[in-house]
Amino acid sequence: MMINIRLEVSARQEKGPLEEFQTLRCHLSQPYWARNLAPVFFLLCLVLFLSSCGLGDQQQVQQLDPRLKSFHIQSSRIIILDSQAEVDGTIQNGGHDRYPFDVTVDATFYDKAGNVIGQAEGVAEDILPGMSRAFVLMGQVDSLHYSHMALTLVSLRERRKEPNLPTPPPISP
Amino acid sequence: MSSVAVRHKQPAAATPGFVPVVGEIHDQEDTDPDITVEQPLVPGFQFQKGGFQLSGRVIDVQSGQPVMNAIVWITMPVQKGRPTSIALHVVTDALGYYQFQHLAAGIYTVAASRYYTVGDGRYYAEHIFSALALRGDRSGFMLSLAPISAPGKRSFVTGRAKNVILIDLRGFYANSLLSDAQLANLTPDLRAFLQHANILKSVWHPYGWRPLDQYALLTGSYPQWATFDTWPRPVPWGAPDGVDTRFWFAGGRSAHLYGQESIFDVAKGYGMQTEVVAGADYILSDATTRNVDLLQRSSAFNADRWLSQMEDAVASGTQQENGFLLYGELAPLAPEDMSSSHDAQGDDYQRALQIADQTFGQFIDWLGQQGLLQNTLIALTTSQAQANHTDADNFYGMGITGQGTSKQTLLAVSGAAMCKSSADNNAYSSFVIAPILMHALGLPAPEEARVEVPGGCL
């Protein structure tokens, strides 16, 4: 919705009276083309930027899988070594789907004033319904100002790590 | 409680031969030529596929209800002279079920525990189920655990401390504070503290190795070795569990799962905040990390940062209704300077001791300014000795055994619930420290602590 509104505003600006007049007066003349290249480019960038924001929002909406509500973090603790942060915890799948899920968990670290001073991320693998699994989140933190953290369940998507190796040739008989 | 002095028996004189034991290969000091067997990440008794399956449930022995989130682990009994394997761990599901897959046929030891609550106010002490024969798939193997109440809050008694701060002067000999006159001018703040504290002057660590001794300090017990443990049969001091202490597990985190209860577990069970400010080599066992709200480690000591972290922990802890437990390692002596002698004037040891003294003094002053010394117990220990396996033995002598195989510390306690200064010269095991701290808070000792609280002021 927000995208559409912004695009409408941009369109109105584009169709200003002066522009229409210039379009009639010197159609595709070099000075006119050159003068309008910058605004067109700016507009294009703006549209791309807004589109990307919109896509980001859409992706985030997609990531908020309702099934995430079935997962509950049972315990968590933070272990800091200098600026490296490790969050260990357990998460339980309280759902009834027959399949195991990989749950991506994010930790955000805050100082006393509530400012973000670091983040960590990790995955709890293959959590069957009713089961609890341990997770380890790795990240960075400003340890001197650490005050508290918040954990967020981000995704249920399976993570696959493709080995960085060439595909072996087919075996010929 | 009656006074319980630990009797020190001489270790057997037999010379230990080389016994291949799964253990550390990344020896920082490179002083363990015997350690040659790498710690595998996969148990030696588990196949990638095939094999047998063992499954069952963990239940509460009193109620018969399932115990969720219990840690269950399986190992093969140790055989002398043969390599051992790490244990295989699983966590029970919401209905208390556990399952091990792809196991080799054999005789196994299964153990289970749960030293943390899941909102039910209960812990479950470790229980070992030995001699389980596996010749095929086996299901329905029930593991019954006895519950331990975890009230979640404290009932304060007048005169009892609300909070406790345990500071370990890492890298310094007890005698540097107790009897070394040459160092008196370097340690005015520490000695001032000792003058007003109750001191056990002759406390001896059971191993002489830091990770194990730190574990003993925080649990009051020997680590439950993944391969061998004689508990509950007591073993004489100086020969812990009959295991050659030169071997130390330094594999992954799973290798440090001992399942025992620490002072953090106890404190957390009563709703206290728990924090640790430590060096990079703080032992990362489950017992010493599991119920720690915040564990901050630093690769290099910095006095300002240490003070800031400790003060933040205290400030946060004072907001907790049930008080706090804070363990801080005060360790300005860098690991590479550990060989510095205490009597080398102006050398690293003495400089670091001076920094430790100043930092300790600043911290105590700050606590006083915050008005916290009235309800907070301050406990001080030391930990330094090269013992039992190198030529650089305790510089202060051969120890109480006369063999230089001991690692002396002290326990100085000051604050609420403590009578005025006293000194006890009896010999104690450092196992006594965890029960003493819990007792001073009005809390039970860790479940498997091996020594009772002595009488008198402590």
Over residues B313-347, the pLDDT tens digits come to: 999 999 999 999 999 999 999 888 877 888 888 89
Of A80, A131, A147, the CB nearest to B93: A131
Yes or no, beta carbons of A131 and B94 under 8 Å apart = yes
Q: Are residues B186 and B125 in the same domain?
A: no
**Nearest beta carbon to residue A78 from set B116, B295, B312:** B295
Closest Cα in chain A to B277: A80
Q: How many CB atoms lie within 10 A of CB B151?
A: 12
pLDDT band at A62 (very low <50, low <70, confident <90, very high): low
Give the whole-angstrom CA distance, residue A155 versus residue B110.
35
Nearest CA in chain A to B292: A77
Model confidence at B237: pLDDT above 80: no
Mean pLDDT (chain B, rounded)? 78
- Residues in A closer than 8 angstroms to B296, CB to CB, are 80, 143, 146
Indicate which CATH number applies to the domain containing B381. Answer: 3.40.720.10
Q: What is the pLDDT of residue B231?
A: 38
- Does the beta-carbon distance from A81 to B297 stay under 8 Å? yes
A70 and A151: one domain? yes
Greater model confidence, B351 or B247: B351
Residue A134 sits at the chain B interface (C-beta within 8 Å): yes
Tell me whether A81 touches chain B (CB under 8 Å).
yes
Label the pairing between strands A132-141 and B22-23: unpaired
pLDDT tens figures, B54-93: 999 999 999 999 998 888 888 887 665 555 666 787 888 8
Quote the domain boundaries for residue B119: 52-149
Residues A57 and A70 grouped into a single domain = no
Residues A23 and A39 in one domain: yes
User: What local confidence, expressed as pLDDT, does residue A93 receive?
Assistant: 85
pLDDT in the model for residue A129: 79
Q: Do A78 and B280 touch (CB under 8 A)?
A: no
Please indicate, yes or no, whether residues A19 and A48 belong to a single structural domain of this protein.
yes
For residues B396-416, average pLDDT = 65
Most confident among A8-12, A25-29, B139-143 (mean pLDDT)? B139-143
Residue B56 C-alpha, separation from nearest chain A C-alpha, in angstroms: 14
Q: Tell whether B269 and B127 lie within a shared domain.
A: no
Domain interval for residue A19: 2-63
Tell me if B295 and A77 make a contact (CB, 8 A cut-off): yes
Tell whether A128 is within 8 A of chain B (Cβ).
yes
In a domain, residue A173? The reply is no
Give the closest of A74, A78, A133 to B294, CB-based: A78
The answer to whether A109 and A138 have CB atoms below 8 angstroms apart is no
Pair B73, B98 in one domain: yes
pLDDT in tens, B23-37: 444 444 444 433 333
User: Which of A77, A88, A132 minimises the CB distance to B93?
Assistant: A132
- Cβ of B294 within 8 Å of Cβ of A80? The answer is yes
Domain boundary among the residues A39, A63, A87 is at A63
Tally of domains in chain A: 2
Same-domain status, B122 and B171: no
CATH classification of the domain holding B126:
2.60.40.1120
Q: List the single residue in B69, B118, B289 with the smallest CB-CB distance to A79.
A: B289
pLDDT digits (tens, 9 = 90+) for B349-361: 999 999 999 999 9
The residues, ordered by sequence, that sit 6+ positions from A116 with a Cβ below 8 Å of its Cβ are A108, A109, A110
Question: Where a domain ends, among B93, B124, B149?
Answer: B149
Q: What is the pLDDT of residue B307?
A: 97
Clarify whether residues B347 and B424 are in a common domain.
Answer: yes
CA pair distance A25, A32, nearest whole angstrom: 10
Residue B458 pLDDT > 80, yes or no? no
If you search the block for the tokens 């002398």, which residue do you land on?
B80
What is the tally of structural domains in chain B? 2
ipTM of the shown complex: 0.73
- Contact check, Cβ <8 Å, A81/B93: no
**A14: in domain:** yes
pTM of the predicted model over 0.90: no
Q: How close A93 gets to chain B, by Cα (Å)?
A: 9
- Residue A106, domain CATH: 2.60.40.10
Q: What residues of A are in contact with residue B298 (Cβ under 8 Å)?
A: 81-82, 143
